[in-house]
Amino acid sequence: MSDDAPPAVPHRKLGPGRLVIASHNQGKVREIGALLAPYGIETVSAGALDLPEPEETGTTFAANAELKARAAADLSGLPALADDSGLCVEALGGDPGIFSARWAGPSKDFGVAMQAVEDAIRKVGPEAGRDAHFVCALSLCWPDGHIETFEGRVDGTLAWPPRGDNGFGYDAMFVPLGATQTYGEIDPDVKHRVSHRADAFAKLTAAVF
């Protein structure tokens, strides 16, 4: 590092109090609420506050997380935490990626989404691999516009047919590396320690608490 490099900007600390989870996805709200519980944070969802869902116009997970966090913080006057996450399949060039929720259609049916992923892999042909990874970007925004973003990732493979009723989204078809069970089969408390969201959350908590 050169002598004239700018000093690192310190992270802003988040104290106990109310925090908006900028999501209408109840699975995400529950999971993030459980991760925040030990820190004295009282969570309320964007849905419970009747906050609108902003259009996700970003081209990366981080960009979409940031626009959702900014919108919720601005409208609520409270700090807001937004998550943008998705499944990236190597054989599909990284799809569904940032469009993971859209593959579930207007009804948000992830059974439909998982079938669409499986059908797309089969169209690639027998040489298609089943490697995939989950990405999670977490953005924490204060009402004054200060924002911090952290990203996590977990690699794995895709199982078919889906297995397990725990979790949400694509969990029932994703087997993390080194495991034999899908995210839909493992205990939620275990997933909270090993998921892509847990990876991002560990970075966030190390910085802001």
Neighbours of 204 (CB within 10 A): 23
pLDDT of residue 205: 93
Tokens linked to 55? 């259009």
> 188 pLDDT exceeds 90?
no
84 is catalytic: yes
Summarised one tens digit per residue, pLDDT across range 70-85 is 999 999 999 999 999 9
C-alpha triplet 60, 66, 67: angle, nearest 5° = 95
Report helix, strand or coil for 17.
strand
> Which residue is catalytic, options 84, 95, 171, 199?
84
> Which of the four CATH numbers 3.90.320.10, 1.20.58.760, 3.90.220.20, 3.90.950.10 does domain 17-208 have?
3.90.950.10
* 17-to-36, 42, 80, 127, 135 alpha-carbon distances in Å: 11, 6, 11, 52, 28
Mean pLDDT value across residues 15-21: 92
Q: What is the pLDDT of residue 1?
A: 46
User: Distance between the two ends of the chain, CA-based, in angstroms?
Assistant: 27
pLDDT confidence of residue 16: 86
Q: pLDDT category, 5, cuts 50, 70, 90? A: low
- State pLDDT tens for residues 30-70: 888 888 888 989 999 999 999 999 999 999 999 999 999 99
pLDDT digits (tens, 9 = 90+) for 119-175: 999 999 999 999 999 999 999 999 999 999 999 999 999 999 999 999 899 999 999
pTM above 0.85, yes or no: yes
DSSP 157: E
Would you kindly state where each structural domain of the chain is located, as residue ranges?
17-208
* Higher pLDDT among residues 11 and 1, named by residue: 11
